[in-house]
């Protein structure tokens, strides 16, 4: 996973494009969309050019173009048609295909163009929750399957992070409401995945809330310092990989005992690791996803 993948199985193509392997084979035989190669051991594989072409084809196919018409396009015409489609805007799936292409090609210009079209059509909330979050989910699946490398994931995640930070900068100029509640946003010790937490900061600031953003990898005992300053705190966290699934119960019990005992404070959590939790300690509440948390805060 330290090198960019250059060989892909048909299952890899299915995962990355969303097109079933059976359909890809039909397109390959009937329309000559792809030209697989064979390894020294006679195993079929597809190169990076095949993948990029399939992603282009998928984008246009999902946009309503007939596969027979797409197959007639030259490589140059195919690329130009994709550019024209992106420039006109489209539905969420089309935008996501364009962003995946930008990631595969490390093409920041295409990312910027796609994002600008998205933000011209939709609110930032829609862009993040309905495009970026599903995109990151798909990327997570591809990374686990070795279809892409950490370099791909870092490239697209950092671009999304930039857009979040710009949006946060725009809304944090508003003087927060002084209703006595302070929202402290943090990630547990050794947790570094902060895109979801940054988005929650954006939403809270948009609502005029008093927010203190601590960010990545905050030891639990460090949070005690805030309780000596603020009378009522709503702690918010997002569990992606830490604490580990078998350590969540212990973490929450410890958090409740150390930080929530004999106070009016509370802890709100979401994230992949906590989805299957049924019981929570007192003053701890779990949300299934970002959207649910945003709507209930």
Structural domain boundaries in the chain = 7-169, 172-296
Which of 2-16, 41-55, 224-238, 245-259 comes out lowest in average pLDDT?
Answer: 2-16
Longest dimension (CA), the chain: 71
Query: In this model, does residue 89 exceed pLDDT 60?
Result: no
Full-model pTM: 0.74
CATH of 7-169, one of 3.40.30.10, 3.30.590.20, 1.10.1660.10, 1.20.1090.10: 1.10.1660.10
- Asked if residue 82 lies in contact with residue 46, where contact means CB atoms within 8 angstroms, the answer is no
Q: Give yes or no on whether 7-169 and 172-296 have one common fold.
A: no
Q: Residue 105, CB half-sphere, CA atoms under 13 Å: how many?
A: 19
Whose structure tokens read 């030259």? Answer: 74
Confidence band of 4 (pLDDT split at 50, 70, 90): very low
From CA 141, how far away is CA 118, in angstroms rounded? 24
Q: Which phi and psi (to 5°) does residue 193 adopt?
A: -85, 100
Confidence band of 3 (pLDDT split at 50, 70, 90): very low
- Asked if residue 158 lies in contact with residue 198, where contact means CB atoms within 8 angstroms, the answer is no
Token pair recorded at residue 238: 């997002």
Measured torsion, CA atoms of residues 266, 270, 274, 277, in degrees rounded to the nearest 10:
60
Token pair recorded at residue 92: 């969420």
pLDDT digits (tens, 9 = 90+) for 193-218: 899 999 999 999 998 899 999 999 99
- Asked if residue 33 lies in contact with residue 72, where contact means CB atoms within 8 angstroms, the answer is no
Q: Residue 19, CB half-sphere, CA atoms under 13 Å: how many?
A: 23
Cα radius of gyration rounded to whole Å, the chain = 23
State the burial class of residue 202 (Cβ atoms within 10 Å of its Cβ: 0-12, 13-18, 19+): buried
Arithmetic mean of pLDDT, 102-120:
89
Compute CA distances 294 → 95, 123, 129, 230, 269, whole Å: 24, 15, 10, 23, 11
The per-residue b/e assignment along 7-29, b for 16 or more CB within 10 angstroms, e otherwise, is ebbbebbbbbbbbeeeebeebbe
Question: What architecture is the 172-296 domain classified under in CATH?
Answer: 3-Layer(aba) Sandwich (3.40)
From CA 234, how far away is CA 211, in angstroms rounded? 10
């Amino acid at each position: 996973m330290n090198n960019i993948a250059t060989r892909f199985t048909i299952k890899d193509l299915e995962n990355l494009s969303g097109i079933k392997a059976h359909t890809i084979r039909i397109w390959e035989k009937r329309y000559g969309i792809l030209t697989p190669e064979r390894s020294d051991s006679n195993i079929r594989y597809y190169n990076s050019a095949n993948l990029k072409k399939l992603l282009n084809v998928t984008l246009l196919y999902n946009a309503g173009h007939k596969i027979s018409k797409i197959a007639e396009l030259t490589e140059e015409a195919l690329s130009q048609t994709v550019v024209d489609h992106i420039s006109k805007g489209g539905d969420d799936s089309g935008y996501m295909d364009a962003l995946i292409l930008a990631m595969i090609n490390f093409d920041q210009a295409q990312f910027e163009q796609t994002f600008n079209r998205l933000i011209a059509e939709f609110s930032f909330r829609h862009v993040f929750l309905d495009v970026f979050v599903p995109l990151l989910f798909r990327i997570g699946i591809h990374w686990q399957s070795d279809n892409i490398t950490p370099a791909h994931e870092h490239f697209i995640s950092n671009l999304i992070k930039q857009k979040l930070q710009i949006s946060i900068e725009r809304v944090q100029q508003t003087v927060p409401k002084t209703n006595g509640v302070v929202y402290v946003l943090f990630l547990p010790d050794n947790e570094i995945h902060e895109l979801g937490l940054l988005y929650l900061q954006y939403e809270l600031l948009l609502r005029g809330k008093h927010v203190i953003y601590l960010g990545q990898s905050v030891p639990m005992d460090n949070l005690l310092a805030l309780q000596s300053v603020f009378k009522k705190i709503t702690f918010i966290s997002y569990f992606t990989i830490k604490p580990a699934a078998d350590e969540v119960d212990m973490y929450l019990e410890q958090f409740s005992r150390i930080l929530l005992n004999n106070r009016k404070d509370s802890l709100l959590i979401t994230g992949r690791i906590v989805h299957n939790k049924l019981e929570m300690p007192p003053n701890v509440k779990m949300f299934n996803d970002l959207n649910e948390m945003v709507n209930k805060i």
